[in-house]
Amino acid sequence: MIPLRDANPSSRTPWVTFLIIGLNILAFLYEVALPEPRLEQLIFTMGMVPARVTVFPADPAITFGDAFLPLFSSMFLHGGWLHLIGNMWFLWIFGDNIEDRLGHLRYLLFYLVCGLGAGVAHTLFNLNSTVPTIGASGAVAGVLGGYLLLYPHARVLTLIP
């Protein structure tokens, strides 16, 4: 199922949702402009690598920033156009209502905490993984969960291919 729209109008402009979508698009345009070796380096450096977080306390070569900045930066990187479009589409459809209900700042914090929580959960289940994780899926899933809790009876028009 692909959501096309919901039946919940917003009472204010979702500036933070626009900002998040814009930042994700800018980050992706930067990604696709990089030559392959630089892109791989970016993904490994700014993607969330569980082993880097779990080894951090014992390895003096890994700085606090190297271990924990990717928990946030990874939310703005995507593995391809479909990955980006899928995440941003769901955020576009459902994020405005959550932002409307929470307010701009609380919504931004909610979005980032959801993404951070997803990164921490992934790390806890994959402690030794050296594979970078990228994407806004965890943060967007948090927004969808919030939408489900706040609007359990909302009508959503969907396309069923």
Binned average pLDDT, 10 residues per bin, the chain of 161 residues:
93 98 98 98 96 85 87 97 98 98 98 98 96 98 98 94 72
Q: Is 143 exposed, middle or buried (0-12, 13-18, 19+ CB in 10 A)?
A: buried
Q: Residue 117: what pLDDT? A: 97
Q: How far apart are CA 126 and CA 21, in angstroms?
A: 28
Q: Whole-model pTM?
A: 0.93
Strands (E), the chain: 2-6, 156-159
Determine the Cα angle at 19 with ends 5 and 159, to 5°.
Answer: 20
Q: How many residues does the chain have?
A: 161
Q: Residue 60: what pLDDT? A: 83
Q: Residue 67: what pLDDT? A: 85
| 104-125 helix and 15-33 helix, angle to the nearest 10 degrees | 50
CATH architecture of 2-159: Up-down Bundle (1.20)
